[in-house]
Structure 1
């Protein structure tokens, strides 16, 4: 990475974006008829597929006691073998997969109205088909659309975006090159209407003087993601309404 200029003197990044600009985001809902909810999302070159099953009866006796007050949220994150340039086998439940599965669970427990579904379980499965930075964030955004597609009520959309700090400038929605360049980074999952943080993770130490700026960059990016996801949901609703009207 030595000598690679991540931010030009004119304020442009390697892929031509400004510091606070998102990668192009495209998404579709209802991609699997067999699931209760599903969505496919591209955030730049990172591609994620999310599938939701439930609410359904709790599987296994261990979870039944915990589900009495509200639905259990079960999340599984996986990285497809072909998603990166490295063709190595990833054992199911590897450490990073387990960690991101837990992050997804914490994120959606904060957003889903679980108390409406006592003694039940909601399963959220996310797979990264192509990895180019911001895997967790793309997973959250795809899963949000899949949960909405399943008709499961949430307090708000959950929108996620990463931010980094390079050359005294906060950068939003990092790609793989920017992620691997080093420097402090954070991933933020936000409920945008209330500004409630569902999950915040930092990968390195950052001076407190810079924390507010990088957090503001991530928060603004999450709200930009919200506008795009809301547009996808409205377009999908129009398509479904048109089909039902025929």
Structure 2
């Protein structure tokens, strides 16, 4: 892997509640400079980032019902549609974690089908955020099995705002469960090249991180 290929794994992220135009301008400039796959931002910044990234290959990714997943299906659908209208190329939505904890799997499937179908209709990449730190291993597996059937583009470990982020064990479990039918994104707590490499080796095909530049610097230093 070279630096360009590594950078294309990154969903370069700024999802803080205190985001300003200066923060998002910096994020977009960095993403353009390194050739990231996407900038991960809160929905309100979709139009702004789309304009900043005009004429580049960097996607704009809107985070839906972020980070709690508790907005309700109608609100999530509405936010997804607004984000796409505003120019989002990718949608990362948080599942209703409480419904998963209650094992209301029909709800989780309906939610996933509703949002993924909107994304498909508009040729937008869909990602389903599990927030694994709140789920048991059998619950992670069950949501992954639903995803294997519904076929979003990606399933994702974490928001980065929960009590824990991506773990190798969870990435491996998700990869094994979907059997190549869905890609896996690792996010949350990935701040160095060693951790990033381990996630990629475990099968992650996207990396959500706010430390993209640091990881690339460490990668380059190791290659020398």
By the TM > 0.5 criterion, same fold?
no
Of Structure 1 and Structure 2, the greater strand share is in 1
> Per chain length, whose mean CA-contact separation is higher, i.e. which structure has more relative contact order (CA < 8 Å, sep 6+)?
1
Under a length normalisation based on structure 1, what TM-score does the superposition of the two structures give? 0.27
Under a length normalisation based on structure 2, what TM-score does the superposition of the two structures give? 0.29
